[in-house]
């Protein structure tokens, strides 16, 4: 199909694309492990929509999970058969969202979609609603144009991407849903110009620093061991140690260095006149593959043991996520050539490949030696207040996916 025909079709679907995006934002599907209701309601809405399309098969894979009331986390797989079907080409997006955070930082209700200044505002509008909608509508455009691709095209709308993917892409991998010959597009990251294709991700090191001292009245520090003070000092020691000892750079990745960020600070005491006896800080580190994150964690444990012995305090390091990055997808893989061609023809953009620090479903696929690439057009508003997606990006990506699917 030529550019004009695809563009005309996608533009005719503009209001439907905006409406599906708004519906996605309006459903609170915050991950249950960040105190949300989970994906059940949004999956039911999406399944109903997919049933209006010409799929050959729609199947729900329910990953058992007692944390949610229904007892499972839904994963939707919808297939559109190709003419010869040598392989299935997958487009994988996720249904869960992160919490809204501090509501005072939002200009609008995060779960009431707002269209303003050519943008759709709301939690999940970009991450991952923009690509979820664009891939669905790209395939819908293909169907309505009466085009049958050579290979099967399949959508996987998964759960749990925001907290480790155990009940999402990992569950589908364990169920043997994917074939060894399949290709995987994971539109969950990109750039505001649409010129970046991700083929590699950094390693992940997440941990908690737990400090136990002795609580006492703030006027009697002689009776206390201030866990908060030791927490600050030890976390500062960690910060210096990590940046000094793991400072390599690799221009394949964006940013080109390892990142080491303290994130969550847990409440210790509720009144100002009490010296805290406990303290907790969580870290999220994205590490270049040059380093073994298991070895880094071992070094941090040694630091904790040394500091504890020298300062009459008990510091423990609790692992929350330690995973060395899998081998990158080959930059010369044929699927990347198809994607670059579609971007060039529909957007007149020359795309390049590289790596990121963020984690996507692509890393889990690569760990199974399955080729996966990440591409989308977005302003990197994920996890921020006033998250949005530009409507022009939503339409442009839908057109690229329509072109790409028609060629595969």
For 102-135, what is each residue's pLDDT tens digit? 999 999 999 999 999 999 999 999 999 999 999 9
Exactly one of 39, 96, 127, 397 is catalytic; which is it? 96
Is the per-residue pLDDT at 184 higher than 90?
A: yes
pLDDT at 158 over 90: yes
Using the predicted structure, report yes or no on whether residue 1 has a pLDDT greater than 90. no
- Asked if 161 is an active-site residue, the reply is yes
What domains, with CATH codes, occur in the chain?
3-201+326-407 (3.40.630.10), 203-323 (3.30.70.360)
Burial class (CB in 10 A: 0-12, 13-18, 19+), 324: middle
> One of 39, 127, 160, 161 is an active-site residue; which one?
161
User: Could you confirm whether 8 is annotated as catalytic?
Assistant: no
Q: Is the pLDDT of residue 152 over 90?
A: yes
Q: What is the pLDDT of residues 241-298, one digit of tens each?
A: 999 999 999 999 989 999 999 999 999 999 999 999 999 999 999 999 999 999 999 9
Higher pLDDT, 362 or 85: 362
- pLDDT at 359 > cutoff 90: no
- pTM comes to 0.89
217 CB-near residues (< 8 Å, 6+ apart): 223, 224, 273, 274, 275
How many other CB atoms are there within 10 angstroms of residue 146's CB atom? Answer: 7
Residue 20 has pLDDT above 90, yes or no: yes
At 2, list the tokens: 């030529």
Tell me the three state secondary structure of residue 7: helix
Cβ-based neighbours of 90, under 8 Å, separated by 6 or more: 154, 155, 156, 178, 182, 183, 184, 185
Coil/strand/helix, residue 338: helix
Closest by alpha carbon to 61, among 69, 45, 44, 73? 73
Residue 255's CB is within 10 A of a number of other CB atoms, namely 13
Question: How confident is the model over 320-345, as a mean pLDDT?
Answer: 96
The first and second tokens of residue 63, run together, are: 């990953």
Give the tens place of pLDDT for each residue, 33-65: 999 999 999 999 999 999 999 999 999 999 999
Stretch 59-76: mean pLDDT, rounded? 98
- Cis-peptide into 255, omega within 30 deg: yes
SS3 content of the chain, % helix, strand, coil (to 5): 35, 25, 40
Cis omega (within 30 of 0) for bond into 128: yes
Helices (H), 277-408: 293-311, 334-347, 361-366, 391-407
Question: Using CB atoms within 10 A of its CB, is residue 240 exposed (0-12), middle (13-18) or buried (19+)?
Answer: exposed
Burial of 288-313, coded b for 16+ CB within 10 Å and e otherwise, reads: bbebebeebbeebeeebeebbeeeeb
Helix extents (H) in 78-226 = 129-144, 169-174
Of how many residues is the chain composed? 408
User: What pLDDT, on a 0 to 100 scale, did the predictor assign at position 86?
Assistant: 87
């Amino acid at each position: 199909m030529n550019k004009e025909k695809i563009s005309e079709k996608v533009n005719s679907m503009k209001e439907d694309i905006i409406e599906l995006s708004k519906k996605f934002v309006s459903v609170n599907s915050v991950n249950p492990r960040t105190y949300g209701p989970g994906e059940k309601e949004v999956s039911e809405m999406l399944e109903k929509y997919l049933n209006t399309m010409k799929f050959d098969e729609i199947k729900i894979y329910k990953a058992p999970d007692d944390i949610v009331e229904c007892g499972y986390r839904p994963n939707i797989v919808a297939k559109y058969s190709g003419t010869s079907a040598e392989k299935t080409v997958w487009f994988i997006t996720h249904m869960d969202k992160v919490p809204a955070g501090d509501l005072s930082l939002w200009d609008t209700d995060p779960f009431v979609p707002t269209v303003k200044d050519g943008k759709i505002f709301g939690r999940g509008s970009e991450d991952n609603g923009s690509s979820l909608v664009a891939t669905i509508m790209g395939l819908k455009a293909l169907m309505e144009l009466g085009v049958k691709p050579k290979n099967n095209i399949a959508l996987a709308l998964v759960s749990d991407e925001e907290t480790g993917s155990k009940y999402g892409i990992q569950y589908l991998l364990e169920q043997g849903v994917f074939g060894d010959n399949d290709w995987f597009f994971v539109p969950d990251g990109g750039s505001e110009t649409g010129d970046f294709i991700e083929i590699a991700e950094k390693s992940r090191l997440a941990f908690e620093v737990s400090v136990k001292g002795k609580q006492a009245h703030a006027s009697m520090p002689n009776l206390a061991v201030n866990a908060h003070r030791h927490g600050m000092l030890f976390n500062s020691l960690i910060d210096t140690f990590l940046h000094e000892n793991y400072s390599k750079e690799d221009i394949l990745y964006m940013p080109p260095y390892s990142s080491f960020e303290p994130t969550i600070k847990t409440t210790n005491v509720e009144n100002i006149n009490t010296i805290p006896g406990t303290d907790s800080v969580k870290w999220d580190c994205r590490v270049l593959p040059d380093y073994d994150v298991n070895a880094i964690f071992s070094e941090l444990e040694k630091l904790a043991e040394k500091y504890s012995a020298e300062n009459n305090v008990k510091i423990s390091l609790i692992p929350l996520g330690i995973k060395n990055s899998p081998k990158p997808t080959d930059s010369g893989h044929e699927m990347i050539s198809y994607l670059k061609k579609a971007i060039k023809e529909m957007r007149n953009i020359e795309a390049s490949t590289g790596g990121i620090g963020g984690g996507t479903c692509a890393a889990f696929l690569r760990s199974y030696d399955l080729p996966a690439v990440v591409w989308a057009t977005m302003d990197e508003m994920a996890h921020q207040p006033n998250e949005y997606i530009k409507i022009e990006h939503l339409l442009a990506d839908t057109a690229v996916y329509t072109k790409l699917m028609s060629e595969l």
